Amino acid sequence: MNTSDLLRKAAAGERLSPEEGLQLYTQADPEALMAIAHELRLQRTTPGVVTYLVDRNINYTNACVTDCQFCSFYRVPGHPEVYVLDKRQIGEKIEELLAWGGTRILMQGGHHPDLRLSWYEDLLRWLKATYPEIELDCFSPSEIEHIARLEGMSMEEVLVRLQRAGLDGLPGGGAEILDDEVRKRISPKKIRTAAWLHAMRIAQRLGMVTSATMVIGFGETMAQRVKSLTRLRELQDESLAAHGNGFTAFIMWTAQLSHTNSLGRSRHRHKYGAGYNEYLHTNAFARIYLDNVTHFQASWPTQGLETARRALYAGADDFGSTMLEENVVSQAAAYTQQEPRMTVYRLHEQIRLAGFTPAQRDSRYRIVRSFDRVMTPTELAPRPIPTRLNGPTASQFVPVSLVG
């Protein structure tokens, strides 16, 4: 099939084979792909509306034994900057989020060598009891594999225990490129492709909220990106057919390289990274190729506001979240170093500037609040809530001993 025929096939919403996808991705005009991706987004989600989430990332520890070459966030055990947050610190962050009308936390951390499953269970139980209205989307397949290895358990056993303790969702972090040639090169100690997919397969079977992600700019080929997307698409088909619960969204960003991580300092630095045109091109292609995923997020923390607004015309229907806090990508060259947090008002402003109406959603993309008029900064300002940290549970705030 020639490229014009493939463009017609894509515009009709028909599924592309991996070979057809690669041809379209490498040979079609990126502007044409963006136009088709936008049209598909209008057909598959509510036209005129761009959703967002009010949440925050809480990075409970930066101790990690996995040494990914693109990571600026982690500290090796024993480093003086290693930390583990205690319940009070986490609770204070959640109370700030509640003041902003937030509905979810995304809690992730490094692969801590000493935190056992019981520590995670205890934390989740306390969070659910203290803040029942907050959705707990926590950890990632690589953290689950790490805990399973520490405990000598299967990933399924770990996920079942964590779900019983209060876990609502497993975010799709750590996918990077789902191809082991790339993974062995940039993160040789991290979870491999098959295990990442298997963790997600289990989480979806258990009914959890999950997301699919991809990070580009690790010197991978375009064929490897298509392979990564194909694996996500296959799992999505399998999970939707088996129990109707698959990835709620696809989120893509570019590797954040700087002098603070090994890839950024590498003498081969010129081989890594990806610009905003490549981001938009790839996002548009992914919207076309992942025909079984409904929602696509624009990533303002890594791409900046202008590119994120343009992504709303390249397949994205969601502006991500306020991210009252983010510590992982922000350690490198991400946009969040300039604007570390986004207020709800500023997020509305960006969505309206792009020509859409904002709507607040939860992690399952159910609308929490619609806005039929432009809101003032005062109307969208935080409203402090009484603290829940002084009750009988206060005695539980035992700090975790730092990694020695």
E strand spans, 279-372: 295-297, 318-321, 357-361, 367-370
Cα gap 347→307, rounded to integer Å: 14
66 is an interface residue for ligand SF4 by CB under 6 A: yes
Is the Cβ of residue 146 or residue 161 nearer to ligand SF4 in the bound state?
146
Asked if residues 102 and 385 have their Cβ atoms less than 8 Å apart, the reply is: no
Q: Count residues near ligand SF4 (CB under 6 A).
A: 12
322 is an interface residue for ligand SF4 by CB under 6 A: no
Residue 320 Cβ, how far from ligand SF4 at the closest point, in Å?
19
Residue 333 Cβ, how far from ligand SF4 at the closest point, in Å?
16
183 is an interface residue for ligand SF4 by CB under 6 A: no
* Cα separations in angstroms, 237 against 191, 231, 241, 242, 243: 22, 10, 6, 9, 10
Region from 24-32, 67-75, 81-89, 353-361 binding ligand SF4, contact rule CB under 6 A:
67-75
- One-letter amino acid at 132 equals P
71 is an interface residue for ligand SF4 by CB under 6 A: yes
Residue 231 Cβ, how far from ligand SF4 at the closest point, in Å?
20
From 183, 190, 198, 227, residue interacting with ligand SF4 (rule: CB under 6 A): 190
Is the Cβ of residue 9 or residue 189 nearer to ligand SF4 in the bound state?
189
Asked if residues 69 and 118 have their Cβ atoms less than 8 Å apart, the reply is: no
* Residue bearing tokens 């090796």: 76
Asked if residues 112 and 123 have their Cβ atoms less than 8 Å apart, the reply is: no
Helix (H) or strand (E) holding 213: strand 209-216
From 45, 51, 103, 142, residue interacting with ligand SF4 (rule: CB under 6 A): 142
From 52, 60, 73, 120, residue interacting with ligand SF4 (rule: CB under 6 A): 73
Residue 270 Cβ, how far from ligand SF4 at the closest point, in Å?
22
Cα gap 56→13, rounded to integer Å: 35
Region from 2-10, 65-73, 161-169, 249-257 binding ligand SF4, contact rule CB under 6 A:
65-73
Is the Cβ of residue 187 or residue 360 nearer to ligand SF4 in the bound state?
187
Burial 253-266 (b: 16+ CB within 10 A, else e): bbbbbbeebebbee
110 is an interface residue for ligand SF4 by CB under 6 A: yes
Q: Which residues, at least 6 apart from 129, have a Cβ–Cβ distance to it below 8 Å? A: 393
Q: Which residues, at least 6 apart from 2, have a Cβ–Cβ distance to it below 8 Å? A: none
Query: What string marks each residue from 9 to 38 as x (binds ligand SF4 by CB under 6 A) or -?
Result: ------------------------------
SS3 86: coil
- Give 359's strand partners: 51, 370
- One-letter amino acid at 227 equals K
Region from 66-74, 86-94, 249-257, 302-310 binding ligand SF4, contact rule CB under 6 A:
66-74
201 is an interface residue for ligand SF4 by CB under 6 A: no
Q: Which residues bind ligand SF4 (CB under 6 A)?
A: 64, 66-68, 71, 73-74, 110-111, 142, 187, 190
